[in-house]
Structure 1
Amino acid sequence: MGFGVLFTQGLVTGPPHQTLQEILAQAEAADRLGFDAALTTEHKYSDEYFGSPVPLSFAIAARTQRVRVGTAIAISPLYNPVELAQDVATLDQLSGGRAWLGVGAGYLPVDYTTVGVPWEERATRFDESARILRSAWTEERFSFRGEVYAFDDVSVIPRPLQDGGVPLHLAAWSPGGLRRAGRLGDGWITNALMSLDTMRGMADTYRAAAREAGRTPHVTSIRFCWPSHDRERAEAEFGATALAMARTLFDYGAITDLPGVTSADQITLAEFVRDRFVFGTPEECAQTIRRFTDEVGVDDFLLVFRYPTGPSHESVLAAMELFAAEVAPAVAAAPVA
């Protein structure tokens, strides 16, 4: 099992230059502390997210030595797939074979209108992009003709350093998307706020599709995370910012499994701590992680320590240190269920 760090900070955290420098410092800390990845994400039109995850991944690669670098996720229908394949192959070469690409179709129409891509084409573009990326990284030259994209006798230069190309993981929440992840991806990425029960059902659908396609399933779960020896202090540092993020994502339409909740102001921290957040003392965090591994079969976790409105950079570094020193070892020491 691996633990990576996922960066979600955007413009509302502070001046962009300062925020980006803090992301790079947190990536360096992840590298030093033994985390397995330092990944980026995006929306194209949002104060909460930066919109250029691949360029940011290049900067992270230049400042680190061992962590995986890349995205979780890039909204692949918004990119020319051959250019995306080239950029990520270059990232793989630059980083010494550490690139990792997570892609998704997105869920906000404004991401599409911002760059002039038709919202109604998202599923087709997502499917075709995944197939093109795979061909671009594994074939010397390839041609493709689909409903949206057409390429004749093209080659991606440079090719990725990793044999077989860059690992390609697909985010999905719908039955069709889960089957696509099983058919085309090296793994499935959950969203950050689905409950344990929701994740279990989706994982079953994804794994069945992966096995039918002859692929080995791999589940990567994104989780908000905040360990602390002092629960009251944890709630003070983490509670308001994480709850604000949960409510924002509910308004975006990214949380659909809260029965009876009709407005964001009805969401409580207690509900999310129960089976969505990794929160509390190191042992409580380890217990939550074990639940997701034992009951869902999660293979890897991408942890979000900082949100668009906080906590502070210094608090995030301290939380990462505590996770690496006490939570990860406690999970590793637990007997296999």
Structure 2
Amino acid sequence: MAPTLPELGYYALSRHPVNPAELVSEAQLADRVGFGAAFISERFNVKDAAAISGGLVAASRRMGVATAATNHNTRHPIITASMGATLSTMSGGRFALGLGRGFALQWQVLGLPDVTSAQLTDVASVLRTLWRGEMILAHDGPLGKFDYLNIGVEVPPVPIMLVTMSPKTLRLAGRIADAVVLHTFFSDEATRTAVKTVRAAAEEAGRDPASVRIWGVVATVPDEFDEAERRRRLYGRLATYLQGYPDVLMRANGWRADDLEKIRASSAFTDARGPIDATATDDELIELAELIPGSWVADSAVGTPAECAATIARQFDLGVDSVIMHGAAPSELLPVLDAYRAVRPTLPELPVNPGMCASASTAAAHPVEAGENR
């Protein structure tokens, strides 16, 4: 068992097509070689957040586990509270609940309301109250009306994380969250700005700015992959994000709208048969790689394992507390992990729970402010 690196995480089952049968061996390896945390990004197919998180908790003994993200509006608050309580108890306090807004179009298709800041603020307060073993009577707030909410037990603290890249939600995270997960393909400047936004909002809310743990996310595509696979994991992945939510990613990075229009006008984009990183041919990926400006992927971890490790280590200079290596399985990241140990910066000692900061003692003690509707 290699020493744990609590500041490093990976996304479980990040490849296409998703095969949940790979989860256990992947997690066991990650736990053994020293990854600090595993994150699960929920999809409404074979990546149910509760089920996958349970598998990660059971397969590991040391590393933290977090949803990054699930959505509060897809479950009754008692179901979400029960999920968090079960996973926290199973893991001995290694689980963190990461929430996000999701996408308006998705909620329209599913017949669900959009997620608002006021709802996220309310659900954080409700969940923390329930996890303290307290009951809630006659709740009437942005989350909804509930005559009686209670899970009947007190559980180890369950940190609440927000997964976001928008300034509005970053400010909300500074006020109410224990941790924040940023987004893949953030430029260095976008990362610095996001960190400053979270810390400033925390200070304005009367919190210690360092009490919010911030995770940067870096696409990690080492040279061990062949050229076609590197294109898929780099340009294909970015093009997939541009299919789903281009505007907020463009704004965060200050990217030019005319560059996006050229990408959108390409046959590789207009003729996409689904998520581009899952369905595009290599010829289509070559077309996209020629159109996507090099600066849009310049802050990714690419090259030799040593070069990738150096990019990961530089993230801490931008103000983040931890880094998720995204886009590769733990078995594919072993050379990078070894190289990182050689350049690992001096960092505060962090808990393995990915939602807790270096000085965290309880996730339920943070003030919760009223939030505005989106």
Query: Which residue number corresponds to residue 125 of structure 1?
Result: 119
Q: CA deviation at 1:96?
A: 1.9
Query: Which residue number corresponds to residue 292 of structure 1?
Result: 315
| Higher mean C-alpha deviation, range 263-272 or range 95-104 | 263-272
- Number of residues of Structure 1 aligned to a counterpart in Structure 2: 306
Q: Does the C-alpha gap of structure 1 residues 154 and 43 become closer, same or farther in structure 2, counting only changes over 3 Å?
A: same
Root mean square deviation of aligned Cα: 2.5
Residue 178 of structure 2, aligned match among 172, 186, 190 = 186
Residue 268 of structure 1, aligned match among 260, 277, 292 = 292
Whichever residue aligns with residue 332 of structure 2, its letter is A
Query: Which residue number corresponds to residue 61 of structure 1?
Result: 57
Q: CA deviation at 1:2?
A: 0.6
Q: CA deviation at 1:318?
A: 3.9
Q: CA deviation at 1:70?
A: 2.6
Q: CA deviation at 1:317?
A: 4.6
Q: Does the C-alpha gap of structure 1 residues 301 and 132 become closer, same or farther in structure 2, counting only changes over 3 Å?
A: same
The within-5 A match list for 1:1-337 is: 2-9=7-14, 12-13=16-17, 19-44=19-44, 50-110=46-106, 112-119=107-114, 121-143=115-137, 144-160=139-155, 162=156, 165-213=157-205, 214-215=207-208, 216-228=211-223, 233=225, 235-254=227-246, 255-256=249-250, 257=253, 258-259=255-256, 260-263=258-261, 264=263, 265=288, 267-268=291-292, 270-275=294-299, 277-294=300-317, 296-306=318-328, 316-332=329-345
Matched residues in 2 for 1:4 and 1:53: separation? 17
Q: CA deviation at 1:30?
A: 0.8
Matched residues in 1 for 2:226 and 2:293: separation? 12
Q: Does the C-alpha gap of structure 1 residues 126 and 8 become closer, same or farther in structure 2, counting only changes over 3 Å?
A: farther
Q: Secondary structure at the match of 1:36?
A: strand
For structure 2, list consecutive stretches of 5 or more residues without a partner in the other structure.
1-5, 264-287, 348-374
Could you list the per-position Cα deviations for residues 168-213 of structure 1 after superposition, in whole angstroms to 9, with x for gaps in the alignment?
1112223321121011101221012221111211221111111222
Task: Decide whether the 8 Å contact of 2:26 with 2:331 is kept in 1.
Answer: no
Task: Decide whether the 8 Å contact of 1:86 with 1:157 is kept in 2.
Answer: no
Task: Decide whether the 8 Å contact of 2:13 with 2:23 is kept in 1.
Answer: no
Q: CA deviation at 1:139?
A: 4.8
Q: Secondary structure at the match of 2:62?
A: coil
Larger RCO of the pair (alpha carbons < 8 Å, separation 6+): 2
**Percent identity over the alignment?**
26
Q: Secondary structure at the match of 1:274?
A: coil
Matched residues in 2 for 1:267 and 1:25: separation? 37
Whichever residue aligns with residue 303 of structure 2, its letter is G
Matched residues in 1 for 2:331 and 2:54: separation? 25
Whichever residue aligns with residue 57 of structure 1, its letter is S
Matched residues in 1 for 2:291 and 2:77: separation? 38
Whichever residue aligns with residue 192 of structure 1, its letter is T
Task: Decide whether the 8 Å contact of 1:101 with 1:167 is kept in 2.
Answer: yes
Q: Does the C-alpha gap of structure 1 residues 248 and 152 become closer, same or farther in structure 2, counting only changes over 3 Å?
A: same
Task: Decide whether the 8 Å contact of 1:179 with 1:206 is kept in 2.
Answer: yes
Q: Does the C-alpha gap of structure 1 residues 317 and 290 become closer, same or farther in structure 2, counting only changes over 3 Å?
A: closer
Q: CA deviation at 1:331?
A: 2.2
Q: Does the C-alpha gap of structure 1 residues 90 and 130 become closer, same or farther in structure 2, counting only changes over 3 Å?
A: same
For structure 1, list consecutive stretches of 5 or more residues without a partner in the other structure.
307-315
Task: Decide whether the 8 Å contact of 1:90 with 1:158 is kept in 2.
Answer: no
Task: Decide whether the 8 Å contact of 2:313 with 2:343 is kept in 1.
Answer: no
Task: Decide whether the 8 Å contact of 1:9 with 1:50 is kept in 2.
Answer: no
Could you list the per-position Cα deviations for residues 128-161 of structure 1 after superposition, in whole angstroms to 9, with x for gaps in the alignment?
222222222235223432034233453224432x
Matched residues in 2 for 1:38 and 1:177: separation? 23
Q: CA deviation at 1:246?
A: 0.7
Task: Decide whether the 8 Å contact of 1:243 with 1:269 is kept in 2.
Answer: no
